[in-house]
Every structure is written in C-alpha cells, then in structure tokens.
Amino acid sequence: MMSTSYLQSITKQFEYYKSLGDTVINQLSIDELKKEFVEDSNSISIIVKHMAGNMLSRWTNFLTEDGEKEWRHRDSEFEDNFQTKNELQEYWNKGWTCLFDAVKPLTEDDLERIIYIRNQGHTITEAINRQLAHYAYHTGQLVFLGKLLKGNDWVSLSIPKGKSKTYNQEKFSKEKGRRHFTDDL
C-alpha cells in the first residue's frame, strides 16, 4: 500500500539525514563545530541547535498542539552556547528522538489528519514533507561546512569523486530488487 510505503520511506529518509549529521559531528572537534567562517554566519553547532530546537517544537505533541510551541525561543537557537561536543550531541539526539517517537507510531489513517504550524493547517503528510525538506537543507549545510573544515582529511559521506564507476559496478552486480537506497549504508 502506498501509505505504508510512504511511512517506511520517510522514516528511512529521516534516519539517513540523522546519520549524515552524526558522521559530520563525529569527524569534528568542538572547536571545529563552533567555527563561523564569516561574521554572523552559522557554525555547525548553531545549525545543530536550530535543527534540534525545531524538532522539539514541531514533534512534541504534534497531533494535538501547534508545531510552533510557546516555549520555543527560536532566536536563541542562533546563539552558540554548547560547551562540549557531548552536550551538542545530546541535544542533537534529543531532537531526533522526539521526531522518531512522533513519526514511527503513525499509520496510514493518520496521514490526512490536519495539524497546525503557526496556525497554518497541514495534513500530516504535508507537515512531514515540510520538515524533511527543512532538515535535508540544513544537513547539506552541515556536510558542506564539515568538508570545508576537514579539507583533505574529510571522510566522504557519499560516492567520492572519481569513484562513480566502481560504485555503479558494485550496485549493478546485484540482482534487481525493491529496496530503499539507505538499506546498504
């Protein structure tokens, strides 16, 4: 069924973007995570804080409360106050746990229910798509900044330059079958 496939797919997509972020964070020191390249830009640390703050607001009681919580102070998400890498990782994981605790119990019957973000009605499908795009956007920023910070020491998170042919040979050596692209990661 399409709805079941959708719910499984978006869960895997969210897991994929979390894993990309985890891998970026794991490659960097706290000083690298906090580095801003130009004045008033966002460091990885700030982007992580914003993403987790957004997740906590959007996904806490998301079926019954507006996704923009009164207790959220979005502007403070752009103030870097993490003291340690562990503190940053704990907050990152707290946001993702909130998201997965909200998404994983959903059923196909839930997908057309209306929820609100800043008083704007969204079907659950629309809200999920909105957040998936938002987190993919910021995860791309994390990856780009991480690569800039590590330079030649960066461990690639995708097909490394010059390795497409080898990657494709490995993929095409397998029998055709229905699977999610993240199943092999």
Residue pLDDT, tens place only, 33-74:
999 999 889 999 999 999 999 999 999 999 999 999 999 999
185 — pLDDT class (breaks 50, 70, 90):
low
Rounded Cα distance, 48 and 57, in Å: 14
Is the distance from CB of 113 to CB of 123 less than 8 angstroms?
A: yes
Q: Show me where the domains of the chain are located.
A: 2-158
Task: Read off the pLDDT of residues 1-28 as tens digits, 9 standing for 90 and up.
Answer: 455 689 999 999 999 999 999 999 999 9
Per-residue model confidence (pLDDT) at position 65: 97
Q: Is the pLDDT of residue 79 over 90?
A: yes
User: Which tokens sit at 60?
Assistant: 């806490």
Helix (H) or strand (E) holding 130: helix 124-150
Over the stretch 104-135, which tens digit does the pLDDT of each residue have? 999 999 999 999 999 999 999 999 999 999 99
What sign does the CA torsion over 100, 105, 109, 110 have? Answer: negative
Asked if 36 and 43 touch (Cβ cutoff 8 Å), the reply is yes
- The confidence score (pLDDT) of residue 3 equals 55
CATH 3.40.50.300 fits 2-158, yes or no: no
> Of all helices (H) and strands (E), which one includes residue 55?
helix 44-59
pTM for the whole thing?
0.91
